[in-house]
Structure 1
Amino acid sequence: MSDARQRHGDVLLLGGIVLTPNGAERIDVACRDGCIVALGDLRGRWSAENEMDIAGLLVLPGVIDSQVHFREPGLTHKEDLESGTRGAVLGGVTSVFEMPNTHPLTLWQADLEAKLDAARDRAWCHYAFYIGGSGINAEQLQVLENLPGCAGVKVFMGSSFGDLLADDETVLRRILEHGRRRVAVHAEDEARLRERKALVETHGDVRQHPLWRDESSALMATERIVRLAAEVNRRLHILHVSTAEEMAFLARHKQRVSVEVTPHHLSLVAPECYERLGSLAQMNPPVRERRHQEALWKAIQDGVVDVLGSDHAPHTLEEKASAYPRSPSGMTGVQTLLPLMLDHFNAGRLSLARLVDLTSAGPARIFGLEGKGRIAVGFDADLSVVDLRARRTIRNAWIASRSGWTPYDGQAVTGWPIHTLVNGRIVVRDEHLSGAPRGQALRFLETQ
């Protein structure tokens, strides 16, 4: 490049270790107009409005959290799009897919457009919204799934309500038959859950949550939806897989099915977490015993797992204090996803290359995201800059969620997000918010 205009950018990151497709490289990164425009030794060759010396820090492709519940509209006393995305960027997350179980449900074009309007100029990170797959919109899903800003179709086989619950096989088949994109599924067998709820209603002991929502509840639903998808030649994404039995089954169906796990299933273990946290550890599907957690980590090592999603699903502490099983399932997670996984890296449980694949490259590949998932010239300048050696203690006071708590309060971790760039602009600098919300609706390839 010969002239000064070409060598000027918006942000110049100098001296960091950058995770590119070539591996870890000590290079500089220049960003302009929302894109990465140069990589290499750029000192003296580039200038920028913001030049940051990040020696000693690691630059990751922007983290993509493909499962969050930000509760807007209708449940904003727990969370909203501004607070949820604020927590995301403070945790190093630059893109999120938000779920359809709001009030009203996200079932139609008008529902999707209302969420896109609500996110505009308020979201700190990029965003897309799932359309709920339902018996009332099944025949329209091939159009709905390709609307701008739509992350795809989400199916609740259990743990939902009203028009969003799709536990009937005829309805499931209709949903799968209409559309081409990968369908995301919450796989728990609703009939079995209803039958087994009496097991916990008498005792009111949250430690029995994995007994009620047992391994068979998950495996039966997963086997069922995979069978139906094979019959109609549809691709699936099974969310928050929590059991050893499901992983063994899904390993035999990887040609058509992608797999998500969550940080809480990788980090918390029953019964200890219920004894220590009570209903704050209550999630659907449940945190289970150690043998299941070990199977999830083995599936990560074997390449069965494609992505990490936080399943950020906040409730207020007052709601969580209700007597079990009336206490709601869900916890915060978007802000702690990256710190927890950096701590797991430092503990030797996964490599940096695998971390990038699970949090950036994998979601971009599985869902067909344009311009995301890698640090390369021409790609979007969404970057998570972390200190692998930083030691921090996660505290409730750090959590941006309107619910104001985390199950990891008091937990020490090694590895921490320091700066976050969204659209080539610094939105978190030195662990604090900077500037204004920069999020935009994510773009998808229609054929994914």
Structure 2
Amino acid sequence: MITAFDVVLRGGTLVTNSAIDISDIGISEGRITAIGNLSSVNTNEKIDARGLHVFPGIIDSQVHFREPGDEHKEDMESGSKAAVLGGVTTVFEMPNTTPPTTTVESFTEKLSRADGRYYCDYGFFVGACKENIVNLPMLERLSGCVGVKIFMGSSTGTLLIPDDNMLKDVLSSGRRRAAVHAEDEDRLNERLPIRNSGGGPELHPQWRDVKTSLLATERLIRLARTHRRPVHVLHVTTADEINLLRKSRDVATVECTPQHLTLVAPDCYDQLGTYAQMNPPIRDEKHRQGLWRGILDGTVDVIGSDHAPHTRAEKDMGYPNSPSGMPGVQTLLPIMLDHVNAGRLSLKRLVELTSTGPARIYGAALKGEIKVGYDADLTLVDLGLKHTISKNWLASKCGWSPFLDKTVKGWPVATILRGETIMRDDEIIGDPIGKAVTFQDP
């Protein structure tokens, strides 16, 4: 047995997707090297975790940090600071930047920008487009690449795979699980008069209606089965899709966001206006309850924030000129811990959704579990701590949150990345040490 460690985390309540136990964790050279009673061992650093719950480092598998091109909204430093303050140790960042991440050159440029600036670990998606379909099998295997992102409907940015012929070509080009924004482009275009009819953001879920999402998800599942390509359906918003995806486990995994599990129409549009506008939209209580059924019965695999910040000036432009999207990486864990304390899901289920699940789905090596040999990525939580989400706490450049001034119960009090404490008691510690994640082929 190892008798000396770089760090020993003592007496925490370890939470995995299968068990909850009080134990010590020994860490050496950034990896977990022992779990058990380590009271008699030597160590360079002791972290007292008594009374705290210790999660595998939280993975936010859908963020938009806006760099390059829109650094006035967010950049790699500010976005990753927000992540770490929220207890997140790893993020997977989306390709709809300016220019979009669709080539070897643009992907390499993103990696170069990230070096020495990310406070958490990271991976980047490549965006599918007409021009790069033939290169997708090569692009998805680039070091640091999470996989391919497909936009079936228009959203922020210019990436779009609008029809079945192009979607078929994308799905048959590559092997790794593809992440998909599933909204039907033809139906969005047909219903544009609704968006442009002179009303406010309450029109958003009428324009991008339930059928818009369901049609796209049905098309996706059919073609994914035909081409035997695993897909991950992002930010699912409808009970109808949950019912479909419950029967599609052979080919599809599922993501929901804290926003769609927490906010509800029409109240959110009355209270937040365009600040509640996102794609796909926040829907009514029937659909929120449908999402929660998917959480409880195992249909949903992942909770990701879809962190997509815009400035207040942009959001205040008025619908439909206001851009869709809201920040969320920093509030993902606090909001979900509040749901745990309200009895809506268990701690073990939360770990599956925010750590083990994302790592499993995308093949993130040595991430997502508290296990000997894995990276010592840990999130320490005070489950009983009540905290108000305040503007001063937020690190995103956009400076707002749909959950601003909301008091939650359960709070991340420390973030540990590969054995280094990088956040403690709402303060960033040290310089950025984030690295690109290694991904394993299926």
TM-score by length of 2: 0.98
Task: Give the one of 22, 39, 43 matched to 1:47.
Answer: 43
Distance 2:92 2:270 in 1: 32
Task: Give the one of 274, 278, 282 matched to 2:277.
Answer: 282
Report if aligned partners of 1:134, 1:163 keep a CA contact under 8 Å in 2.
no
Shift of 1:413: 0.2
Matched, 1:218 2:209: no
Distance 2:30 2:263 in 1: 37
Task: Give the one of 5, 8, 15 matched to 1:9.
Answer: 5
- Taking structure 1 as reference, are residues 214 and 54 closer, same or farther at Cα in structure 2, changes over 3 Å only? same
The C-alpha deviation readout for 1:26-54, integer Å capped at 9, x for no partner, is 11111111100111111221312x21212
Matched, 1:154 2:154: no
**For 1:60, what is the secondary structure of its paired residue?**
strand
Partner of 1:441: 436
Task: Give the one of 135, 139, 156 matched to 1:140.
Answer: 135
Report if aligned partners of 1:20, 1:376 keep a CA contact under 8 Å in 2.
no
**For 1:164, what is the secondary structure of its paired residue?**
coil
Shift of 1:21: 6.1
Distance 1:211 1:107 in 2: 32
Identity of aligned residues (%): 52
The letter for the 2-side match of 1:132 is G
Q: What's the Cα RMSD here?
A: 1.2
Distance 2:156 2:82 in 1: 28
Matched, 1:398 2:357: no
Partner of 1:292: 287
Shift of 1:135: 1.0
Partner of 1:175: 170
Matched, 1:324 2:319: yes
Shift of 1:235: 0.7
Distance 2:82 2:36 in 1: 31
Structure 2 matches for 1:22-421, cutoff 5 A? 23-48=19-44, 50-160=45-155, 164-421=159-416
Shift of 1:20: 4.1
The C-alpha deviation readout for 1:241-272, integer Å capped at 9, x for no partner, is 00011111111111110000000000000000
The C-alpha deviation readout for 1:370-394, integer Å capped at 9, x for no partner, is 1011101111100000000000011
Distance 1:163 1:106 in 2: 11
- Give aligned pairs, total: 442
Moved more, 412-421 or 35-44: 35-44
**For 1:16, what is the secondary structure of its paired residue?**
strand
Shift of 1:162: 7.5
The C-alpha deviation readout for 1:264-321, integer Å capped at 9, x for no partner, is 0000000001100000100100000000000000011110000011000000000000
Report if aligned partners of 2:385, 2:409 keep a CA contact under 8 Å in 1.
yes
Structure 2: gaps of 5 or more residues? none
Structure 1: gaps of 5 or more residues? none
Distance 1:215 1:292 in 2: 9
Distance 1:383 1:184 in 2: 26
Distance 1:71 1:162 in 2: 10
